[in-house]
Structure 1
Amino acid sequence: MKLLKINDALFDQIESLYNRVWNQSIDERLRKHYTYDGFRGVALLSKTDRLKGFAYGYTSLPGQYYHGLLAKELAPNEYEHWLTDCFEVVELAVDPDFRRQGHAKTLMTELLDEVERKTAILTTQTDNHSARSLYESMGWVIVKERFYPGVPDKPYVIMGKN
């Protein structure tokens, strides 16, 4: 097993895995996010260099799309606490063949290990119980239970970590 920093040589494998997991493309978004301030990404490869999973994020700043969505959902004191010096976890995906082996926890731990921000924030679907359980076991707290970043009938939860 190899843990690497995400680089452009891994983009095709990340695209393929993301498409299998979420049935959509991440390529354009990843290439854009890769240029953001504070971008940090990790990938976990098998002994045969098969991508087991990846996670990435960046410094959350005013003017970014998701930062703006989150800002609208938070009271001024919540914004001050959670978003003014924040690392935004954008994606975490593990190949279904490699789930329930601790890889998501490894990826999240490594992703946040050297982040020099006061807080980290992420969102996940309210009904994604395995993700929520993982994050809660790692010390994440619920910042807001119902958040609708896109489709009105697909609620998300905003979670934060100091």
Structure 2
Amino acid sequence: MVQLLAMDKNENIINKMEELYKQVWNKSIIERLIRHTTYEGFKGYIIISEEEGLLGFAYGYTSLPGQYYHELLFKEVSQKEYETWLKDCFEVVELAVHPLHRNKGYGNKLIHELLKEVDNKTAVLTTQVNNTVARHLYNRMGWIVIKEPFIPSEHEDPYVIMGKVLN
């Protein structure tokens, strides 16, 4: 049986999220994840299976001035776009679904649950420009492109900034 649960911030769950993230993206998330759990408005959800363990997760928090990614996005958008998208915003930071469990609606369920009780007016996220699977998912869920391309750092591939009006 598969369950969708609010993320417990205990070490066991965080370590399982780290393992899954490494399988999906081939890099570590643990330091960043632990730091993000302390941010205002943090919330996360996991999908687990009794038989197969952690199948996926998503998390985010309120995007605020002074936060690293908020400042990166601020530099990339116009003042009007900032007022529209980042002034009262929930940032979807990560979505990861185990490769063997994709195309089963888990990503959709995780994002839907993550945003369900968010009080912010908008939500933003970034994904790689060439990540067509994620982009199709977000498009189906009503997300729109705010800016493309967005280059977070000289060592990263181009990303797209996407937004969704919530209230």
* TM-score, normalised by the number of residues in structure 2: 0.94
Could you give the per-residue CA deviations for residues 37-88 of structure 1, whole angstroms, max 9, x where no partner exists?
Answer: 0001000001336000000000000000000000000100000010010000
Q: Which runs of 4+ in 1 moved over 6 A?
A: none
Could you give the per-residue CA deviations for residues 80-108 of structure 1, whole angstroms, max 9, x where no partner exists?
Answer: 01001000000000001111111100111
Tell me the amino acid that sits aligned with residue 4 of structure 2: L
Instruction: Give 1:76's match in structure 2, choosing from 79, 84, 96.
Output: 79
Q: CA deviation at 1:7?
A: 1.8
* TM-score, normalised by the number of residues in structure 1: 0.97
Instruction: Give 2:48's match in structure 1, choosing from 41, 45, 48.
Output: 45
User: Structure 1 stretches of 5 or more lacking a match?
Assistant: none
Q: In the alignment, which residue of structure 2 is the partner of 1:147?
A: 150
Residue aligned with 1:8, SS: coil
Residue aligned with 2:161, SS: strand
Tell me the amino acid that sits aligned with residue 55 of structure 2: K
- 5 Å-filtered alignment, 1:55-70, equals 55-70=58-73
Instruction: Give 1:126's match in structure 2, choosing from 126, 129, 145.
Output: 129
Is 2:7 aligned against 1:2? no
Residue aligned with 1:100, SS: coil
User: Structure 2 stretches of 5 or more lacking a match?
Assistant: none
What is the rounded CA distance, in whole Å, between the counterparts of 1:18 and 1:152 in structure 2? 19
Percent identical pairs in the alignment equals: 56
Residue aligned with 1:52, SS: strand
What is the rounded CA distance, in whole Å, between the counterparts of 2:154 and 2:106 in structure 1? 29
What is the rounded CA distance, in whole Å, between the counterparts of 1:97 and 1:127 in structure 2? 20
Q: How many residues align?
A: 162
Tell me the amino acid that sits aligned with residue 128 of structure 2: Q
Q: CA deviation at 1:151?
A: 3.0
Aligned-residue CA RMSD (Å): 1.1
Q: In the alignment, which residue of structure 2 is the partner of 1:87?
A: 90
Tell me the amino acid that sits aligned with residue 74 of structure 2: A
